[in-house]
């Protein structure tokens, strides 16, 4: 039996540093070229979502992730204008690192006051969920 046609699988990574800043990229390519976004991208065949998250973070920012905590799964068919994607979002904390843009990121930087920025895709929703997780008892440290 052939495999069914399904949404593309992606990952997004919320990275917080020791000063409480958020790691964001500026997208180099459409959709949302020039907009701030979370590091992330498509999962390769044969790759776990955790490995994809670590790979995408390293490719786009030069930063290596440690422990990953699950934020949630985001599957709104309208979340990506290119087509239906399903994203698994993770949270990680980095004590200190200097980001360097790579792959399809035009820029990578730590942002202190990010809550008022217009973000690509549904990344504002992912960040709202991450904030709730960070405030809950036993939150990912």
Rg (CA), the chain: 14
Phi and psi (nearest 5°) for 41?
170, -165
Instruction: Tell me the H-state helices in the chain.
Output: 49-61, 123-135
User: In a 3-state reduction of DSSP, which class is residue 108?
Assistant: strand
Catalytic residue among 47, 56, 107, 118: 107
107 as an active site residue: the answer is: yes
Helix (H) or strand (E) holding 2: none
Pairwise CA distance, residues 49 & 86, whole Å: 11
Picking from 5, 6, 2, the residue whose alpha carbon sits closest to that of residue 75 is: 6
Question: Do residues 49 and 9 lie in contact, with contact meaning Cβ atoms separated by under 8 Å?
Answer: yes
Catalytic positions, please?
107
């Amino acid at each position: 039996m052939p495999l069914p046609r399904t949404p593309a699988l992606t990952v997004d990574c919320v990275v917080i540093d020791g000063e409480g800043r958020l790691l964001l990229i500026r997208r180099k390519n459409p959709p949302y070229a020039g907009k701030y976004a979370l590091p992330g991208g498509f999962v390769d065949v044969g790759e776990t979502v955790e490995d994809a998250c670590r790979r995408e973070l390293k490719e786009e920012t030069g930063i290596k992730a440690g422990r990953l905590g699950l934020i949630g799964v985001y599957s709104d068919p309208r979340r990506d204008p290119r087509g239906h994607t399903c994203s698994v979002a993770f949270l990680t904390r980095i004590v200190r690192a200097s980001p360097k843009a790579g792959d399809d990121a035009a820029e990578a930087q730590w942002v202190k006051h990010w809550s008022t920025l217009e973000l690509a895709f549904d990344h504002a929703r992912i960040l709202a969920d991450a904030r709730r997780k960070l405030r809950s008892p036993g939150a990912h440290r």
